[in-house]
Chains A and B, each alone.
Chain A
């Protein structure tokens, strides 16, 4: 579905990614784990067209999107929930969700999806008229994921969904991620510092170190790999 081939990404003169290659197959959850500053978020920003790669290619269903504008990429069905959630603080919960469906014209489908989301997250239904900025961290993460779902993404890019959340809330969020993958058949690209949780959720995983992919395997294999256990799982 998504194939990244050998991309180099720069911020000014500083190279953040060195020849990163990876692929995401239809219907799976893949995860990209790595330390702070390894280039995980940069990879997502390159896919979304916010920081286009200087060389290499990004193919989405065979089409090169590496030089496309962010809104064009979004139209193909790639939606990102960035690190830090980026809720519009002064828009209400409903208005935030509306923004996820900004490009859609099927008001019936939008209403259906809104219903589905309020079922998935009853707390959002309860707070629908409150400004997004008043929500707790966990609620904001739910809203951020829901807002992305409102665009009916084919590939959902999630950046650090567990950041700053209590363990119980984090577990809830990851359960929802699995549900979305199973019920909606949404393919998910998960970037996460909590490698343990990410590898338990994902089918396959990639390990990023200093802007380079150093390992890739089935998630279960990575979980039992001693080097990974030492470096990322704290075992």
Chain B
């Protein structure tokens, strides 16, 4: 029996907020990277996350049937989800966005909404519209036993894995040849072309990385919550998009910062007020920040190109 001290409760909520924030960040990075490079809000990005969760569910069922141990199932199922979702992201860009590269900005946006609806319906037909139970793939750590009420094993795994994913992304973007080309393409596409950079390929790589990170988020959260359905992508997508806008869409550190702020706000609103009000607080925060900093926390004010 646990009796909460206010401080312990506060720490528990902080962990819960950071966990949510980590998941939002994994999804928000895809939104912000794609926006940074082609100026498109990819409304189908949440569906990639949902497909990641479904893929992990299928993969883990097969792997469990084969009798593999739990950590191996988690790692292999996550890998399968990442690869499969990355393939979806790559294909989506190629068929739904690339042909509209030089079209008015509204056209790819509508194409993205269409893609989102298509993918939801496709999963509904191919899988089910019902909730499906998702196995707890993340093992329970014994050393966390004394802190059971404050931080769970899944929280810790989500925090660490997503942090590693984000650090990996930052290193890739800062130091590798591809990462530099991604930044160059985002800053000046025509010049990148004039320097022999294959801009189409850089855009494909951006979709692949963004989709892979979203899929990782999908696996982790599904394992945490224990059930999935075809609408999880819509809800998580809206939240992550909010986080990306909050931090300044197009900015990678902004997406991470916005995600943690949003996650913590929701956790404290749930913990101290009521879970009915978590969205009220989240979106009020968004409105407030956009009033005072229209470009988001770390975004740069730019001239609207529409």
Instruction: Enumerate chain A interface residues (CB-CB to B < 8 A).
Output: 48, 50, 70-71, 74-75, 79-80, 82, 86, 88-91, 95, 98-100, 102-103, 147, 151
Contact = CB atoms under 8 A, between A and B. Distances in A.
Interface of B: 177, 180-181, 183-184, 187-188, 190-199
Nearest to B177: A102
A90 B193 contact: no
Nearest to B201: A71
Contacts of A82: 190-191, 194
Given A88-B188, A89-B187, A91-B187, A71 B193 contact: yes
Contacts of B196: 70-71, 74-75, 102-103, 151
Chain A's interface: helix, strand, loop or mixed, by majority?
mixed
Residue of A86, A95, A102 with highest tally of chain B CB at under 10 A: A102
Nearest to B199: A71
Contacts of A86: 188, 190-191, 194
A32 to B, nearest CB: 18
Contacts, number: 59
Contacts of B181: 99, 102
B172 to A, nearest CB: 14
A70 B191 CA distance: 10
B194 A50 contact: yes
A48 B194 CA distance: 7
Contacts of B183: 88, 90-91, 95
B198 A99 contact: no
Contact of B193 (A70, A75, A95, A100): A70
Contact of B190 (A50, A91, A100): A50
Contact of A71 (B184, B188, B197): B197
Contacts of B199: 71
Contacts of B192: 99
Contacts of A79: 194-195
16 contacts: A70-B194, A71-B198, A74-B195, A74-B196, A79-B194, A82-B190, A82-B191, A82-B194, A86-B190, A86-B194, A88-B191, A99-B184, A99-B192, A103-B196, A147-B195, A151-B195
A80 B198 CA distance: 16
Given A88-B187, A88-B188, A91-B184, A99 B193 contact: no
Given A91-B180, A95-B180, A102 B190 contact: no
Contacts of B191: 82, 86, 88
A128 to B, nearest CB: 15
Residue of B183, B194, B199 with highest tally of chain A CB at under 10 A: B194
Contacts of B188: 86, 88
Given A48-B194, A90-B187, A103-B196, 8 more contacts: A50-B194, A71-B196, A71-B197, A74-B194, A88-B184, A88-B187, A95-B180, A151-B195
Contact of B195 (A50, A90, A100): A100
Contacts of A50: 190, 193-194
